[in-house]
Amino acid sequence: MDSREGLRAFLTSRRERLTPAQAGLPDFGGRRRVKGLRREEVALLAGMSTEYYVRLERGNGAGVSDAVLDGISRALQLDDAEHAHLYDLARTTAPGSTRRRPVRPPQVGANVLQLLDAMRDVPVFVQNGRLDAVATNRLGAALFSEMFALPGRPVNAARFTFLDPRARTFYRDWEGTARQVVALLRAEAGRTPYDRVLTDLVAELVSASDPFRALWAAHDVGVHRTGSKDVHHPVVGDLDLTFEAMELTSHPGLQLLAFSAPTGSASDDGLRLLATWAATAPPGAEGVRTGVGDHA
């Protein structure tokens, strides 16, 4: 993935989504030749020369300061995820940015596996930035049994979402999940543009999935912190779950997602039933747990 092209396309896409009225600028009517804001309008709002902003939008992040990036973020009304993505793109386009292979996150250790095992009543899922399943407890493997039924390793949430027809039944809001998956991959691409495995994954999905290709072209980015996940499980039916995402500070690049439902709710009852079913060791449960360090 070309970082200069990424910076150019990201800034263009953010500029084109804002109207003068949304940006607090006067609109004197008449036909505008560009979609959204003009480059000179972004430069005005960001407090810089038009020439300097044009240079950035052409993908040249050489010497750009934090103050300039902050000004552009304010002008384009970027959210936290977009703001971080802009920084990542500018950093990787600057001179001296080397094409080093990303450092592999360390293998999940015994302490983390012990923690996962102790969380018997909570589905837990550990993933890397490419959305590979790195580790899970038994209930987490049971919850995502449709995904873990995929052949080969690593099991990957993006590949399941876009290439496995079962995903459209499993995710009750498939469109929302698809947008979130692509936004997470786009953010990871900004952080690690020279990750060959990630590049190959994106190329595979762009080639095989029209919905992925359209969403990837939108340059939207996102983060995993907290949210909802409504699924239809083939054994226990509909589950309305919330999740909390936590970075594993002892394992940089890995994130733990824990899912739950309100006590006494139908979804809570469903999770309890799922835990009973999980005691039969559904296919994939042990394979994900013991293959922890192979694909990080």
Is there a single domain that holds both residue 279 and residue 198?
yes
Q: What is the pLDDT of residues 186-234, one digit of tens each?
A: 999 999 888 999 999 999 999 999 999 999 999 999 988 899 999 999 9
Assigned domain for 199 exists: yes
Task: Check whether 26 has a pLDDT greater than 90.
Answer: no
Domain final position from 93, 125, 153: 93
Is there a single domain that holds both residue 244 and residue 290?
yes
- CATH code: domain of residue 268: 3.30.450.180
Is there a single domain that holds both residue 246 and residue 199?
yes
Q: Are 92 and 193 in contact (CB under 8 A)?
A: yes
Task: Check whether 293 has a pLDDT greater than 70.
Answer: no
The residue ranking higher by pLDDT, 141 or 296, is 141
Residue range(s) defining the domain that contains residue 44:
3-93
Candidates 146, 13, 148; CA nearest to 78 is: 13
Is there a single domain that holds both residue 55 and residue 122?
no
The residue ranking higher by pLDDT, 273 or 1, is 273
Task: Check whether 35 has a pLDDT greater than 90.
Answer: no
Looking at the structure of the chain, the number of domains it has is: 2
Query: Which percentage of the chain shows pLDDT scores above 70?
Result: 88
User: 21-42 burial by CB neighbour count: b if 16+ within 10 A, else e?
Assistant: eebeeeeeeeeeeeebbebebb
Domain final position from 38, 68, 93: 93
Assigned domain for 98 exists: no
- CATH code: domain of residue 74: 1.10.260.40
Is there a single domain that holds both residue 76 and residue 127?
no
Assigned domain for 101 exists: no
Q: Are 222 and 90 in contact (CB under 8 A)?
A: no
Assigned domain for 105 exists: no
Is there a single domain that holds both residue 115 and residue 55?
no
pTM for the structure as a whole: 0.86
